[in-house]
Amino acid sequence: MASNASTVFDLPPLPTYTLIPREPLLPWLPDNLLALILPIIAYWVVSLAFHYIDVNDYFPQYRLHTPAELLKRNHVSRWDVVRDVIVQQIIQTLFGLLVVYFDGPEYIGREEYDVAIWARRIRIVQRAIPPLFGLVGIDSMRLAEGLSGHPIFAGVLAGGRYPDLVQNMILEDGKEVMVPAFARWELVTAGILHWYLVPAAQFIGAIVFVDTWQYFLHRGMHMNRWLYVKFHSRHHRLYVPYAFGALYNHPFEGFLLDTAGAGLAFLLSRMSNRQSILFFTFSTIKTVDDHCGYAFPWDPLQHITGNNAAYHDIHHQSWGIKTNFSQPFFIFWDRLLGTQWKGDVSLRYERSWVTAQKKVEMDTTKTSNPQADTAPVSFSKEDEEGPIARKIVNQGMHTKTPSRSVQKEVLVGHLVTGSLRQK
Ligand SMILES: [Zn+2]
Ligand SMILES: [Zn+2]
């Protein structure tokens, strides 16, 4: 016969559990190794897809820069970029392997227990309701008495007391007792917390950490001349960013900003290995997308946060380099600390585009007629002011085979009307 043990069990008891090692997603590869490999595969697959679009010029209307700018404005060859990215990825993998070496195996089996822990917290929080109601002069216990037809409301108002919710339990000495049980709504809410809200909070926490880490280190690299010249200037050899140049960095900077930043975000947020596969891969794809050189209206990664290829591209221009430090997700640090670029950029983008086009044409003339007397064209500080603006692109200025006369007309039109002048 069951006896009442509510004095022993003030709260519903927690279930017992047995831990077993978690099976990896791929039977032949541990999850923590997949978390190292998948981001690298994603980097090259996504960036080569952008590269394919780029070399075939499939979406000229969405380009931030012209092919002529790609040819003339960058201070590093594509092969040097590939080499340095591979170096960074090797360092990143070695560091990851070191972490994996010290990482213990992951277990499953205590999910029900963890949900019950949350359900208990929910039960404890309810205890605050009667005193809180009391502060505004409401007797929630009396209210609860009047709600006998609504046991959930009555239980909550009574401070988490559910006298009808009991269950049998066998104690270690074999004695059967009646103990409190969780209400269904408590278990459902606890399940949502455990399975969805906590992982989401871990993900958001990691994103905020990476954004913060990168913003201050990145800004620091621009404020300190030695740091800039020694390390960060390498990334800025790309005035016209392209997708696989996203991780083109000095190896030290790559390690500090990307590898250490993501690694710390993973450790501090206490993500599981499976979550980290998603987080590392998503971060990598976002960084690639931010350097893709296209402002696509249908690319969700360019619209879920304020940061995207157009935003980061401004930071790659000589005139925008002291702004838009935020990367790779949100731009709240730029907003809060007043480092966000303000104003129209169309004219600046246009200048660079026109100058690059002139250089290409001059090269063509020289090749076809080596004797031709042509004045050299170089990117002045003014000319270095930028890639082509979406505004110009949208006005049909940028075509697959641009006609010089059409370009000139449009450019003159803009200059006369001042429609593209910077605010
Ligand atoms: Zn920078
Ligand atoms: Zn960049």
Q: Residue 367 — pLDDT band, cuts 50, 70, 90?
A: confident
Name the domain boundary from 151, 173, 190: 190
* Average pLDDT for the chain: 87
CA of 317 to the centre of ligand 2 (A): 10
**In this structure, is residue 284 part of a structural domain?**
no
Name the domain boundary from 190, 215, 237: 190
In whole angstroms, what is the distance from residue 21 CA to residue 44 CA?
Answer: 32
**In this structure, is residue 63 part of a structural domain?**
no
- The number of the ligand nearest the C-alpha atom of 253 reads 1
- The number of the ligand nearest the C-alpha atom of 288 reads 2
**In this structure, is residue 212 part of a structural domain?**
no
Between these two residues, 391 and 84, which has the higher pLDDT value?
Answer: 84
In whole angstroms, what is the distance from residue 201 CA to residue 196 CA?
Answer: 9
**In this structure, is residue 336 part of a structural domain?**
no
pLDDT above 60 (res 421): no
* Domain containing residue 405: 346-417
pLDDT tens for each residue of 273-282 = 999 999 999 9
pLDDT above 90 (res 323): yes
**How many folded domains does the chain comprise?**
2
pLDDT tens for each residue of 132-154 = 999 999 999 999 988 878 989 99
Q: Give CB contacts under 8 A, 24+ apart, made by 366-369.
A: none
CA of 288 to the centre of ligand 1 (A): 15
In whole angstroms, what is the distance from residue 156 CA to residue 18 CA?
Answer: 32
Q: Residue 363 — pLDDT band, cuts 50, 70, 90?
A: confident
CA of 312 to the centre of ligand 2 (A): 6
- The number of the ligand nearest the C-alpha atom of 328 reads 2
Residue 248 parent element (H or E)? none
- For residue 365, the model assigns a pLDDT of 82
pLDDT above 50 (res 207): yes
Name the domain boundary from 136, 155, 190: 190
**In this structure, is residue 42 part of a structural domain?**
no
Q: Residue 377 — pLDDT band, cuts 50, 70, 90?
A: low
- The number of the ligand nearest the C-alpha atom of 241 reads 2
Q: Phi and psi of 171, rounded to 5°?
A: -75, 170
pLDDT tens for each residue of 155-164 = 999 999 998 8
CA of 316 to the centre of ligand 2 (A): 6
